[in-house]
Structure 1
Amino acid sequence: MGELLFNLPEAPAVPVAGESSGYPIGRIFCVGRNYAAHAAEMGNEVDRESPFYFTKAAANAVLTGAVVPYPPGTENFHYEMELAVAIGAPVFRAAAEEAQAAVFGYGCALDMTRRDLQIRERQKQRPWDLGKDLENGTVFAPLTRVSDWGNPSGRRIWLEVNGEVRQDAALEDMIWSIEEIICHLSGFYHLRPGDVILTGTPAGVGPVQAGDRMHGGVDGLPPVDLTLVAAERY
């Protein structure tokens, strides 16, 4: 094969705290309804039989500190603060110990959502892509290696909008633990380095407008920031 006709947009490499190297993003898997209080506030029941997922394109991700326009096609744009789990070793049909060993590190992330489109498509029993997989719709803070952060147990996850706390919970509130998610997801995919799993958002999600600034964190990890500006007109 000769030269390519054009180059595709590249996914950003996520910085690693305290290092000069970056973590290249391959695939982004997102766990839905992994906090019971969030599922309840959205009017949904929790499926405790197994987790479920949606995906987001890595090329649509941006890094913390980004300033992005309010997205087209929505009048109800929501923030969702999440813990990101970065895979560092190949794993398939993992047992719990293998799942733990496959984790490279953790980071803060935002799963931005066109909520009106997500709800509309869900009510029609159609995929959520328009609501979830949008340009600039995933925001990553630097990752921290497992050895530098330790156990997620006892950690707080939170998000502020313009300095006001909107989400505030504990990682223990997750229905499915990190190990359980990796064990389950690796039963369907050969997980590999570059795969990132967003583990769900706690209660308190809500709309943001142009001019709003989001600042979120998980205890012991670099925070994530995003600023919205006016929508593009042309």
Structure 2
Amino acid sequence: MFTGIVEELGKVKTIKNSNSSCRIEISAEKILSDIHLGDSIAVNGICLTVTDFTKGSFSADIMHESLKRSAISKVKQGDLLNLERAMALNGRFGGHIVSGHIDGVGKIIDIYRDDIAIWFEIKAGSNILKYVVEKGSIAIDGISLTVAELKKESFKVSCIPHTIKSTVLYTKTLGDEVNLENDLLGKYVERLLTYKDENTIESKIDEDFLKLHGF
């Protein structure tokens, strides 16, 4: 698990592509201070496993599922990436619960300044937007952000200068794609409410029942 608080920006050192997967090497500093083989690192919000590391970089394998669901397939040598180590149990929980499992990709369709803040409007599919709520949390390229405005086909976030300069957001332009992870709570609630099998007992509580009893 992660918090969506980016620890540092890493730089893509090498990418080796195969038929439907790739191996990426990323230069870093801070996160390497206590790195171990098998550690989980969120790379632009994608939970990757450390398969090798040196004094100045670490490597990870990216499978077809991650390439298909995220924008990592468009990353090239020299690109900057958001990095976060897995959440420590003795640390402060500054963001929200982020699993590192990307739900889909959004596209930046507007960027504008509002005094010190920078607003990003991101277009996303209904599979993403159905879990988005105004003032709720969403992870964008692994950054824990608050939804400031929700529209029919997009949503907006407003970022303070610290967030911009400390993450890959300062490199983003119109048309760029970003990795999106919805808040886990909405997905679990939907599953519990819609799951049915042969042992499921149909609830007798409906709108008419609630009205009849004064609700």
- Report the TM range for the smaller structure's normalisation: under 0.3
Q: Larger % of strand: which?
A: 2
Larger Rg computed on CA atoms: 2
